[in-house]
Structure 1
Amino acid sequence: MLETKDLTIRFGGHVAVNAVSCNFLPGTLTAIVGPNGAGKTTYFNLISGQLQATQGRVYLNGVNLSSLSPSARTRAGLGRAFQLTNLFPNLSVLENVRLAVQATQEGKHLRGLNLWSIWSDHRALTERALEILQNVALRDKQDATVASLPHGDQRKLEVALLMALDPDVYMFDEPTAGMSADEAPVILNLIRALKQDPTKIILLVEHKMDVVRELADRIIVLHNGTLVADGDPADVIASPVVQQAYLGVAPADKEAA
């Protein structure tokens, strides 16, 4: 279980996230929604360690992660896609994913990559990397350098690296942002597939309510850094206060929503 307890951060006199307490269970995809400036990405940053909380704690499986760096939290089982963007921009797509697969094996106390060993020892790493690239529709670009990829392919690679790390918690912050209508379904299908694993927790920040309706098992709503709604997607979306104040839907538009 992932848990945040009274998670808070202040920037001077501004409280960006205000005492947010939530539990997230395996086998559940939780969508985090709210207007721009609501604190969604800041909340993500506090969980993943990009920001240090003013007060409050983050727990994963009962272990307090609050004092850990982002990389240490990743090793503990938190995975956030954007942290891995352009991990090695001058290496190939395949090399990036293969290194992430290696890091996962080392984290599980298996033998890592020995540069002096024979190539056959690396075969399992390469095969796993190629399998992941096939899943994210990047197999045909395995030899391209990361820096040369268009934006949509870089987003696919972020998900590939995250899959290679095999975290307990997948954190997606607007995963289809900037992607074309043809590219976005690849990422959404990957998230659908990840949902089938009952051992994984998925957190999703997403502005597209059609995506939220389809994928989410639960919705939490932030406004001015405060948790204002939490529950079943249909109930949360139907709430007049959420529709009017936080999702930008006027009462007259309720049925259309």
Structure 2
Amino acid sequence: MSRVILETHDLTVRFGGHVAVDAVSCAFRAGELTAIVGPNGAGKTTYFNLISGQIPASAGRVVLNGRDITRDSVAHRTRAGIGRAFQLTNLFPNLSVLENVRLVIQSKAGLGFRLLSMASGHSEITDKAVAILDRVRLYEKRAQLVSELSHGDQRKLEVALLIALDPAVYMFDEPTAGMSVDEAPVVLDLIADLKAQKDRTILLVEHKMDVIARLADRIIVLHNGALAADGDPAEVIASDVVQEAYMGKELTDV
């Protein structure tokens, strides 16, 4: 069994009298893609926000590679190896698609976000950025400003920036939301490629059960902020309690 990369221990957040995430404990392993599902308002995105640092926990812990990161900032968590797609969207909207990817690669290489350095060589960085854009089918739009991209292309750029960041943990929150039927498979194929590498931990919030059935090694179900189910996708999807109480008829369409 592969080693645990990310853990949450009794992770909890309260907003006034409302408990949005209620003592959720989970361990996520290298090479595993976990789908996080549940009805609207179940706490899925809030759980993501707690892991990536957008909101502080009221109680509990987040542990990455054995180190407690519960009080770390978003930037510290990103440097430590947690990558969440929307954190990087429109990093520099008035720069080109290629320049955005180059900047992330530069930063990852320890060169910082220095625009001047982009103009002076670093051909290997450019080559890597071009290769990533080719993977996400944005090569033809490499010179286009990010602010001018369609919604679907911006979602593809999110994945490109995450690939450039090369985190230990990839976090995708409904990555195909708002994408056309033609665009969505590109992103899903990229996620499948990342999973096939067997050395990254992937967390996926998704409502489309066909996507989950195709990609997930494991499903966890949140309901009213609490962990309601955790296990093999087929077993969780077939569970009466999940179908009837949490997911409704959509699961029967898989």
TM-score of the superposition, structure 1-length normalised? 0.93
Post-superposition Cα deviations, 1:6-25, rounded to whole Å, max 9, x if no partner, equal 00000000000000000000
Find out whether 1:28 has 2:32 as its counterpart: yes
Tell me how far 1:118 sits from its aligned partner. 8.0
SS in 2 for 1:160: helix
Instruction: Let me know the Cα RMSD of the aligned residues.
Output: 1.8
Q: Is the 8 A contact 1:80 1:171 kept in 2?
A: yes
**1:136 to 1:117, Cα distance in 2 relative to 1, 3 A:** closer
Alignment of 1:125-144 (within 5 A): 125-144=125-144
For structure 2, the 5+ residue unaligned runs are: none
Post-superposition Cα deviations, 1:142-187, rounded to whole Å, max 9, x if no partner, equal 0000000010000000100000000000000000000000000000
Q: Is the 8 A contact 2:37 2:205 kept in 1?
A: yes
Residue 178 of structure 2 is matched in structure 1 by 178
Residue 201 of structure 2 is matched in structure 1 by 201
SS in 2 for 1:51: coil
**1:62 to 1:240, Cα distance in 2 relative to 1, 3 A:** same
CA distance in 1, matches of 2:118, 2:176: 40
Q: How many residues align?
A: 250
Q: Is the 8 A contact 1:6 1:57 kept in 2?
A: yes
Find out whether 1:66 has 2:70 as its counterpart: yes
Residue 5 of structure 1 is matched in structure 2 by 9
CA distance in 2, matches of 1:184, 1:25: 26
- For 1:157, the aligned partner's letter is L
CA distance in 2, matches of 1:217, 1:50: 26
SS in 1 for 2:210: helix
CA distance in 1, matches of 2:174, 2:248: 18
CA distance in 2, matches of 1:211, 1:116: 40
CA distance in 1, matches of 2:180, 2:113: 37
Q: Is the 8 A contact 1:105 1:112 kept in 2?
A: no
CA distance in 2, matches of 1:201, 1:245: 29
Give % identity: 66
For structure 1, the 5+ residue unaligned runs are: none
Residue 119 of structure 1 is matched in structure 2 by 120
Alignment of 1:13-162 (within 5 A): 13-106=17-110, 115=116, 119-120=120-121, 122-162=122-162
Tell me how far 1:119 sits from its aligned partner. 3.3
Residue 248 of structure 1 is matched in structure 2 by 248
- For 2:249, the aligned partner's letter is V
Post-superposition Cα deviations, 1:41-60, rounded to whole Å, max 9, x if no partner, equal 00000000001000011001
TM-score of the superposition, structure 2-length normalised? 0.95
- For 2:232, the aligned partner's letter is D
Structure 1 runs (4+) greater than 6 angstroms displaced: 110-114
SS in 2 for 1:248: helix
